Amino acid sequence: MLEDGKFGKYGGIFVPELIIPALEELEEAFYKYKDDPEFNEELKFYLKEFAGRPTNLYFAENLSKKFGCRVYLKREDMLHTGAHKINNTLGQGLLAKYMGKTRLIAETGAGQHGIATAVVGALFKLPADVYMGSEDVERQKMNVFRMELSGGKVIPVETGSKTLKDAINEAFRDWITNVENTHYLIGSTMGPHPYPTMVKHFQSVIGEEARRQIMEKEGKLPDAVIACVGGGSNAMGIFAGFAADDEVELIGVEGGGDGTETPRTGATLCKGTEGILHGSLSFVLQDQDGQINEAHSVSAGLDYPGVGPEHAHMKVTGRANYVAVTNKEALRGFELLSKYEGIIPALESSHAVAYAEKYASMEENKGKTIIINLSGRGDKDMFIVAKEMGVEV
Ligand X SMILES: *Cc1c(COP(=O)(O)O)cnc(C)c1O
Q: Which residues bind ligand X (CB under 6 A)?
A: 83, 85, 112, 188, 228-235, 301, 346, 348-349, 375-376
C-alpha span between 88 and 114 (Å, rounded) = 12
* Closest CB 230 distance from ligand X, rounded Å: 3
Residue 59's SS3 state is strand
Query: Rounded to the nearest whole angstrom, what is the least distance from the CB of residue 88 to ligand X in the complex?
Result: 8
Using DSSP bridges, classify how beta strands 280-284 and 57-59 pair: parallel, antiparallel or unpaired: unpaired
Q: Quote the CA–CA distance of 129 and 103 in Å, as a whole number.
A: 8
Q: Evaluate the CA torsion angle 283, 305, 91, 129 in order and state its sign.
A: positive
Q: Which is nearer to ligand X, 15 or 115 (CB)?
A: 115
What is the smallest separation between the CB atom of 106 and ligand X, expressed in angstroms?
12
Name the active-site residue from 27, 107, 254, 348.
Answer: 107
**Chain position whose Cβ is nearest to ligand X:** 376
233 is catalytic: no
Tell me, what amino acid is at 92? Answer: Q
Q: Which is nearer to ligand X, 89 or 365 (CB)?
A: 89
Q: For this structure, is 297 an active site residue?
A: no
Closer residue to ligand X in complex, CB, 71/236: 236
Surface-to-core class of residue 337, CB atoms within 10 Å of its CB (0-12 exposed, 13-18 middle, 19+ buried) = buried
Catalytically annotated residue among 188, 297, 299, 375: 375
Least distance CB 203 / ligand X (angstroms): 8
Closer by beta carbon to ligand X, 182 or else 234? 234
* Burial of residue 26, with CB atoms counted within 10 A of its CB: 0-12 exposed, 13-18 middle, 19 or more buried: buried
By the 10 Å C-beta count (0-12 exposed, 13-18 middle, 19+ buried), 124 is classed as: middle
Residue 150 vs 233, nearer CB to ligand X: 233
Question: How far is the C-alpha of 95 from the C-alpha of 42, rounded, in Å?
Answer: 11
CB of 23 to ligand X, least distance (A): 20
Which residues are identified as catalytic?
85, 107, 375
